[in-house]
């Protein structure tokens, strides 16, 4: 393929994706609306895409940029002079490392566990799975915030970490970090604050005079904080920060290995070779925006969030799950309305909103991560139309036979035959061809009727079938 054809193909393939710019994609991507800053960041990514953060003595530029970014973040999280940090590839890696470091700080605890609120990000369950740290999941209160007393009571001899969110992804509310961190500190246990999505918003919200519950290193007992550059720092994908109160707390995260014939491997993160691209992209973005830029962007995003939350509260058919503490909005149906159909109707109008399946006694919901570039009036107009269209469309029919089948299937032993039936029932396979249907509501309704373990099994099997080498 020649260069022109390759460029054309890249553009054509990307056309199938959700738009990254425009503020109409309310999950996965975060848009500042500042095209010049984006262009600058992409230049930086391109210029450093081949550089390798594996060895800071070979690529001192990347170490310098990392140290600059950590210093900038220190202002945001009330970091003490002793605070240190590491750039990771994303929020999940930051959370994984917080768990790994906490585990390895206590080699004498042979059955390590961590106390987490049930609203904690799934990244911590991934960490539990990867690192053999048992997750002790504590129910949240009726306000969806972590129950500090219940979490304190759940700490025992095996606890190596306690986690709070600022805010939680699904509900967008900040946990009572002061009480949780105090309980952890009293027992000599580390306390991680997952501010992956709020870390670049809440500090500016406070500077704008909004009420923000304490969540930073100003809170005694907080030992580490994760904050994503590729979310509300509006940096290109692949950058997050894991910040520790002291170098000693970070130390177990570092890995060195000299016992092989090659170079002595010395890694600060899960990755060894680390592309310089995301580091340079984040550095360029943060330099270009600065605190003043972020203050403006946060004002825009929070104003848009306020407008959207008020609009939803006033809208017949939807109710807010909680009053937003930052830029996240979640809403559920309060009448005969299918929220999955609302997602489809929004997609028809070129808006992407994220469906959240029912959980425990909580109904399915819509989730929005509002960006500075999101136009709240245009959003609300589309939402109003979408809700009206969804009510008119009525409930999504789910095959009773399939629902019965779901109750009998064992997630651990899901076979190919049963999977084929499920795929067909969900509209994920037509005529033997695997693919996403035009409308996702039937798929979501089907998944929603399944218990969580079965949802996982079905989605894993689906991904497994999607991810196969190109044929023909």
Ligand X SMILES: *Cc1c(COP(=O)(O)O)cnc(C)c1O
Positions that interact with ligand X (CB under 6 A)? 90-92, 95, 121, 123, 165, 169, 194, 196-197, 228, 240
Looking up tokens 């969540």, which residue turns up?
A: 215
Closer residue to ligand X, CB minimum distance, 83 or 123 = 123
Q: Which is nearer to ligand X, 183 or 233 (CB)?
A: 233
Nearer to ligand X, 92 or 113 (CB): 92
CB 181 within 8 A of CB 108: no
* Pick from 398, 402, 400, 406: nearest CA to 450: 406
CB of 240 to ligand X, least distance (A): 6
Q: How far is the CB of 428 from ligand X (least distance, A)?
A: 24
375 Rama class: left (phi>0) / alpha (psi -120 to 50) / beta: beta
CB of 5 to ligand X, least distance (A): 33
Nearer to ligand X, 146 or 429 (CB): 146
Of the pair 127, 318, the CB lying nearest ligand X is at 127
CB nearer to ligand X: pick between 79 and 90: 90
DSSP code string of 8-40: HHHHHHHTTSPPSSSS-B-SS----S-HHHHHH
The answer to whether the CB of 114 falls within 8 A of the CB of 162 is: yes
Question: Kind of pairing, strands 224-228 and 240-244?
Answer: antiparallel
22 phi, psi to nearest 5 deg: 115, -15
Measuring CA to CA, which residue among 280, 324, 327 is closest to residue 301? 327
Q: Which whole-number Å values give the CA distances from 206 to 198, 203, 242, 405, in the listed order? A: 12, 5, 21, 51
Q: Which is nearer to ligand X, 219 or 239 (CB)?
A: 239
Gap between the Cα atoms of 437 and 429, Å rounded: 8
92 versus 444: smaller Cβ distance to ligand X: 92
Backbone angles phi, psi at 320, to 5 degrees: -65, 140
- Nearest-approach distance from CB 325 to ligand X, in angstroms: 12
Shortest separation between residue 285's beta carbon and ligand X, angstroms = 16
| Burial group, residue 55, by CB count within 10 angstroms (0-12, 13-18, 19+) | middle
Residue nearest ligand X, CB atom distance: 91
Report, in Å, the least distance between residue 90 CB and ligand X. Answer: 3
Least separation in angstroms between residue 194's CB and ligand X is 5
Nearest residue (CB) to ligand X, 90 versus 117: 90
For the CB of residue 467, give the shortest distance to ligand X in the complex, in Å. 19
User: 254: helix, coil or strand?
Assistant: coil
Whether 205 and 326 have beta carbons less than 8 Å apart is answered as yes
Nearest distance from residue 122's CB to ligand X, in Å?
A: 8
- The whole-angstrom separation of Cα 68 and Cα 45 is 17
For residue 241, give the H/E element and its range: strand 240-244
């Amino acid at each position: 393929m020649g260069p022109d054809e390759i460029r054309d193909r890249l553009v054509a393939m990307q056309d199938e994706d959700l738009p990254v710019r425009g503020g109409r994609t309310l999950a996965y991507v975060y848009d500042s609306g500042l095209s010049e800053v984006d262009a600058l960041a992409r230049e930086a990514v391109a210029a450093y895409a081949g550089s390798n953060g594996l060895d800071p003595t070979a690529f001192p530029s990347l170490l310098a940029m990392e140290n600059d970014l950590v210093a900038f973040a220190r202002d945001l999280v009330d970091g003490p002079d002793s605070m240190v940090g590491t750039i990771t590839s994303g929020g999940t890696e930051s959370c994984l490392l917080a768990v790994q470091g906490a585990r390895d700080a206590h080699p004498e605890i042979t059955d390590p566990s961590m106390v987490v609120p049930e609203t904690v990000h799934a990244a911590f369950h991934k960490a539990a799975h990867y690192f053999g740290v048992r997750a002790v999941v504590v129910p949240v209160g009726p306000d969806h915030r972590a129950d500090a007393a219940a979490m304190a009571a759940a700490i025992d001899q095996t606890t190596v970490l306690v986690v709070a969110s600022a805010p939680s992804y699904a509900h967008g509310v900040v946990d009572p970090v002061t009480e949780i961190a105090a309980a952890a500190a009293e027992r000599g246990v580390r306390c991680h604050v997952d501010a992956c999505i709020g870390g670049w918003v809440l500090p500016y919200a406070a500077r704008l005079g909004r009420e923000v519950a304490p969540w930073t290193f100003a809170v005694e007992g907080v030992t580490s904080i994760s904050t994503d550059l590729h979310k509300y720092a509006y940096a290109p994908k692949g950058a997050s920060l894991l910040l520790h109160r002291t170098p000693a707390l970070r130390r177990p995260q570092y890995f060195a290995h000299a016992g092989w014939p090659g170079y002595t491997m010395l890694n600060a993160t899960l990755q060894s070779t680390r592309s310089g691209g995301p580091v340079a992209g984040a550095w360029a973005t943060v330099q270009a925006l600065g605190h003043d830029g972020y203050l403006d962007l946060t004002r825009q995003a929070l104003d848009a969030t306020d407008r959207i939350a008020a609009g939803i509260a006033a809208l017949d058919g939807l109710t807010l799950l909680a009053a937003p503490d930052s830029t996240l909005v979640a809403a559920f149906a309060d009448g005969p309305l299918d929220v999955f159909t609302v997602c489809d109707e929004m997609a028809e109008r070129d808006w992407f909103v994220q469906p959240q399946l029912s959980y425990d006694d909580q109904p399915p919901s819509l989730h929005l991560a509002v960006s500075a570039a999101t136009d709240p009036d245009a959003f609300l107009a589309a939402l109003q139309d979408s809700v009206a269209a969804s009510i008119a469309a009525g409930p999504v029919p789910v095959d009773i036979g399939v629902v019965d089948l779901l109750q009998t299937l064992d997630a651990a032993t899901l076979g190919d035959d049963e999977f084929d039936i499920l795929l067909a029932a969900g509209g994920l396979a037509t005529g033997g061809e695997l693919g996403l249907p035009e409308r996702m509501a039937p798929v979501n309704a089907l998944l929603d009727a399944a218990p969580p373990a079965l949802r996982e099994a079905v989605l894993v099997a689906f991904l497994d079938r999607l991810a196969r080498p190109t044929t023909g």
